[in-house]
Amino acid sequence: MDIAAEKKRLRALALGRRAAMGEAGRAAASRAAASHALAAAGAVQGRAVALFAPFRDEIDTAPLADALREAGAILALPVIIARDQPLLFRRWDQDTPLVPTGAFRIPEPGPEAPEIIPELLLVPLAAFDRRGFRIGYGAGFYDRTLALLRAQRPVRAIGFAFACQEVDQVPVETHDEPVDMMVTDIEAWAVGPRA
């Protein structure tokens, strides 16, 4: 099997389903997923939690950000340093100005925001399977970041997406880092231990 071609096919399939939800459907599903994610995260008081700024029609993290702040979490957002580097995370307080950055103009905190090493990461994705493997958007940022963080200390990664983005099986390459848990608008579940 040509893994790259199969990932491309599955990515297009899942993203097509996501787009077909429509704006109102995505908004309602994002609120439902936030409720599941808050329960799955457990006690977050004083813990560093990394979210992501949604891109195009990704699941909206704003409802979850509000709930996490209310629960006392310290929030962070990813910052792209360079194409082949892991992400770094900067603190994201409610009044932190976000600057659209990079080719895709994804909002991120500026260099004045302190760097944070998260204990819990909400990971964006295009497609996922029940084993916790995900297909991102092709640049490998989260695979590199998770590999680095996991080599340094325990960290929990939660895939955060709409249920319609699930596929039967994601083809796996050696560099692919699975998530520890998946949260959708329908349910949350822990995945098996990594091999």
Q: Summarize the annotated binding site for substrate as residue ranges.
A: 58
Note the Cα 107 to chain centre separation in Å: 15
Which of 84, 88, 195, 77 lies closest to 152, judged by CA?
A: 88
- Mapped onto helix, strand or coil, the DSSP state of residue 6 is helix
What strand order describes the sheet that includes 188-190? Answer: 115-116, 88-91, 74-79, 48-50, 120-123, 156-160, 181-183, 188-190
Q: What span, in angstroms and rounded, lies between the C-alpha atoms of 124 and 11? A: 13
Annotated binding site: 7-11, 58, 134-142
> Which bin fits 105, alpha (ψ -120 to 50), beta or left (φ > 0)?
left
Annotated binding site for ATP: 7-11, 134-142
Q: Which amino acid is at 67?
A: A
Q: What span, in angstroms and rounded, lies between the C-alpha atoms of 118 and 155? A: 7
- Mapped onto helix, strand or coil, the DSSP state of residue 125 is coil
Q: Count CB neighbours of 103 within 10 A.
A: 6
